[in-house]
Structure 1
């Protein structure tokens, strides 16, 4: 009977050691998972920063050229407005005279469909 209880004790101790080894393995596994997660997060953050810096660089080159384009368009618009105003001032007098001549120069005529009866 002593050998049976001794055998049971050995089994219980072996079971306890196996349980301890399993817990230790789970702890190591969880530690490795946390470490892998942290490394992946760091790698993702680094990649994200790189992509954002690339995006900002490209955006500034494009937006910079768009800003230059906007100033060029504004300058061209001002030049065209000045040219139109100069042309208006130059042609205003002659156009007004021509309109007044057309208004005042009336030649009364009979309409072609008018039939004169005597």
Structure 2
């Protein structure tokens, strides 16, 4: 019976050591998974930053920057203002003469209530 008790004790100790090893293996696996996840996340961030940089470069190359567009709009506005000013100078005399003609050309008439 003593041999049986020692055999049981050995089995219990072996089971305890096996459980500890399994626990340690699970912890190592969890650490490796966590480390792999962190590495993957850092690779994703690096890739995202690289692609965003390439996108911005592509956008500036093909579409131009906001400053370029602002300058282009400003140049177009100045051209249109100059064009309008030129048209004003060309038609100014004619418009003034027509206005003055309408103001000076007064034909006196009796009001319709006084005519009756």
**TM-score above 0.5:** yes
How large is the Cα RMSD of the aligned pairs? 2.8
What 5-or-longer segments of structure 1 have no aligned partner? Answer: 110-118
Structure 1 residue 108: deviation in Å? 6.9
Consecutive unaligned residues in structure 2, runs of 5 or more: 110-116
Give the TM-score normalised by structure 1. 0.71
Q: Which has the higher contact order (CA 8 A, sep 6+)?
A: 2
> TM-score, normalized by length of structure 2?
0.71
CA distance in 2, matches of 1:55, 1:108: 76
User: 2-side partners of 1:105 and 1:13: how far apart?
Assistant: 126
Of 5-14 and 66-75, more deviation after overlay is shown by 66-75
Q: How many residues align?
A: 113
CA distance in 2, matches of 1:95, 1:31: 88
Bigger Cα Rg? 1
Q: CA deviation at 1:81?
A: 1.4
**Distance in 2 between the 1:32 and 1:16 partners?**
24
**Partners of 1:67 and 1:29 in 2: how far apart?**
53
**Alignment pair present for 1:85 and 2:85:** yes
Q: Indicate the residue corresponding to 1:104 in structure 2.
A: 104
Change (3 A) 1:9 1:74: same
Sort the Cα spacing of 1:19 and 1:98 in 2 relative to 1 into closer, same or farther, 3 A.
Answer: closer
Offset, 1:67: 3.4
Partner of 1:52: 52
